Amino acid sequence: MYRRVRFRRLSPPEITRLLDVETRHARGARRVFLADGDAMRRPFDELRWILEELGKRLPDLARVNLYATGSAIAAKTDAELRALRELKLQTLYLGLESGDDETLRRVRKGEDAAGMVEAGRRAQDCGLKLSVMVLLGLGGLERTREHADATADALNCLQPRLLSALRVVPVPGTELHDDVRAGRFSEVSERGVVEELRRLIARLELTNTIFRANHASNIVPLEGRLPRDKPALLAQFDAILAAGLLDANSPVPQPLWL
């Protein structure tokens, strides 16, 4: 979604004007999301200033959330992460995508699983929460098992508070879409994606995580709390697969919004 957007940091005067406009009619707001992209990439002093300004303008502010990459988290010291937490930064949305380094390399994620896991664990040790996103089907048919297993292993190390599983959808105009059309990337079938998610869930050993797979890209909407609902989720997967209604030869059609 950012292919045509050049990365830049808004200047302090631009942020001040934005804060003035957005908080004028939301004095009672309790939650703020810092958009967009990798907001954690901003230097610590800038993030601290933004959070301080939000606190001044929003007296009822309870929490601030933002997107973060592993490398952006890693660039902050433990003291800096704790200071941001004290200023009401609460949840970091981390796109792990996969725990399989070969899959990450192929899609040019720019980070490896170990680095993202280490950064996420540090953030949580400093009092921040993690909401982790993974992409089903990202390894393609060739690496579906490796992708599922390594992703589960990474999640077991991370122990995120929130976990979202979405399905990768090749979008026209992207290199992945070109690879699909040229036969260089074989998409996981509709049934295969459900099997991949079941394999991932079966391997998870999480202690306190809210799980959701109810994005518009998902084939079957599912959610639950892990580990409590793991047996029920696996039973749902088995029932869905046993019904024989999923296409085992091709991916489900693209969502309407694409």
Give the integer Cα–Cα distance in Å for 214 and 5.
28
Q: By the 8 A CB rule, do 64 and 88 touch?
A: yes
Give the integer Cα–Cα distance in Å for 73 and 40.
7
HEC string for 138-184? CCCHHHHHHHHHHHHHHHHHHCCCEEEEEECCCCCCCHHHHHHHHCC
Mean pLDDT over all residues of the chain?
A: 94
- What pLDDT is attached to residue 173? 87
Q: What is the mean pLDDT of residues 126-149?
A: 98
The pTM of this model reads: 0.93
- What pLDDT is attached to residue 27? 86
DSSP 37: S
pLDDT band at 255 (very low <50, low <70, confident <90, very high): low
CATH classification code of 27-242: 3.30.750.200
pLDDT in tens, 86-123: 999 999 999 999 999 999 999 999 999 999 999 999 99
Q: Give 3-state DSSP helix, strand, coil % of the chain, rounded to 5.
A: 45, 15, 40
pLDDT in tens, 38-54: 999 999 999 999 999 99
What one-letter code names the amino acid at 96?
L
Give the integer Cα–Cα distance in Å for 51 and 56.
9
- What pLDDT is attached to residue 256? 47
- What pLDDT is attached to residue 68? 97
- What pLDDT is attached to residue 7? 83
